[in-house]
Amino acid sequence: MKLMRYVAAAAAVLAIGIAATLALTGKQAVPDVAYTLLDGSQHRSEQWRGKVVLVNFWATSCVTCVKEMPDLAATHEKFKARGYETLAVAMSYDPPAYVVNFTETRKLPFSVAIDHDGAIARGFGDVQLTPTSVLINKRGEIVKRYVGEPDFAELHRLLDKLLAEA
C-alpha cells in the first residue's frame, strides 16, 4: 500500500514536470512514428529534422478535409523549395482504395500515408477529429496544432517565420 502511494506520487511529480516544461516552452517534441507512403517507401518522423513539416490528418469522407486540400497543395508548392514538407495522413477507417483514388485524381503534390492501425494518430495525441494538422519546426518541435481548416494566410506568415529560422 505504501509503495503504491510512492508510485502514484512519483507519477504525479513526473506529470507536473512535463506539464510545466510544456507550459514554459510551449513546444512539444514530435513523437517518433513510422509510416509508409502510398508508393510503399518506409519513413520515420526523425527524418524531418532540419525541415518545417505540416502533418495533416484527414479522410476522404471529411467535407472540410476535401475542401482544404487545394489550399494545402498550394501551400506545399509555395514553400517546398525552402525546406517545407507536407505529409497527409489518411485515417485508419478510410478505405485505402479511396485514398489512392483521391490522391491520384487530384494529383496531390505531397506525401500521403495511410494510418492503417491508428499508430500515427495515437502518436500525435490520439487524433480523432479531421482535419487536424500539426506544424513542426526544424528542431522537431510541435509549434501549432490546427483542428479544422487552418487560416491559410496566418499559416503562411508562420511558415515564413519558421523557414527563416536557423
DSSP strand pairing (141-147 vs 28-29): antiparallel
- The pLDDT mean for the chain works out to 88
For residues 74 and 14, membership in a common domain is answered with no
Taking only the tens place, the pLDDT of each residue in 96-154 is 999 999 999 999 999 999 999 999 999 999 999 999 999 999 999 999 999 999 999 99
Whether residue 19 is found in the same domain as residue 69: no
Domain residues for the domain of 1 are 1-27
Q: In whole angstroms, what is the distance from residue 117 CA to residue 104 CA?
A: 23
pLDDT of residue 33: 97
Indicate whether 24 pLDDT > 60.
no
Q: Are residues 4 and 43 in the same domain?
A: no
What is the model's pLDDT at position 13? 34
Residue 6 sits in the same domain as residue 38: no
- 20 and 37 co-located in one domain: no
**14 and 57, same structural domain?**
no
Decide: residue 42, CB within 10 A, 0-12 exposed, 13-18 middle, 19+ buried. exposed
22 and 71 in a single domain? The answer is no
* Whether residues 20 and 46 fall in one domain: no
In this structure, are 14 and 40 located in the same domain?
no
Same domain, 72 and 51: yes
Name the domain count of the chain.
Answer: 2
Is the pLDDT score of 19 beyond 60? no
**Which pTM value belongs to this model?**
0.84
Is 60 in the same domain as 2?
A: no
